[in-house]
Amino acid sequence: MRRGGCGLKRRKSALKVVNLERGMPTVPLALSLLNDALRMARDEGYAAVKIIHGYGSSGEGGAIRTAMQAELMQRVRAGEIRAFVAGEDWRISDERAWALLQAHPELKQDSDLGRGNKGISIVVL
């Protein structure tokens, strides 16, 4: 029996984690990194992506978080992604989060689930 190398894409988890906060990028660079991350996650067969974008040092929500969530809302409307769940809504009582958790029960193990983490967003591909 032959192992590996069969040309099939295999994913380790339904959720890919991408840290866009690392290196403190500008908003345009962060949005470009988001585009690349979503394309790669889709190509790799992930169902969803956890984007770590941070909450901003002011404590009121940073420019990257605001731009990221506006971009994700626009992509939902354009049909480019199925949905996105803001970190503060990433809990079982949120309709979109619950639908994703039902489709991919392994996501219930995510450390941010139910924590109200405003520094992340979950993107459903």
Tell me the domain boundaries of the chain: 15-124
pLDDT of residue 70: 96
For residue 82, count CB atoms less than 10 angstroms from its CB and return exposed for 0-12, middle for 13-18, buried for 19 or more. Answer: middle
Residues ≥6 apart with Cβ < 8 Å to 1: none
User: Which amino acid, residue 61?
Assistant: G
Query: pLDDT tier at 5 (50, 70, 90 boundaries)?
Result: very low
Q: 10 pLDDT exceeds 90?
A: no
- Measure the CA–CA gap between 118 and 52, rounded to whole angstroms: 9
pLDDT of residue 23: 85
- The tens digit of pLDDT for each residue in 65-84 reads 999 999 999 999 999 999 99
pLDDT higher at 50 or 60: 50
- Please give the CATH architecture assigned to the domain spanning 15-124: 2-Layer Sandwich (3.30)
Give the H or E element holding residue 77. helix 63-77
Q: Are 107 and 101 in contact (CB under 8 A)?
A: yes
Q: Which of 52, 20, 49 is nearest to 118 (CA)?
A: 52
Q: 11 pLDDT exceeds 70?
A: no
pLDDT of residue 59: 55
Q: Which of 120, 76, 117, 82 is nearest to 99 (CA)?
A: 82
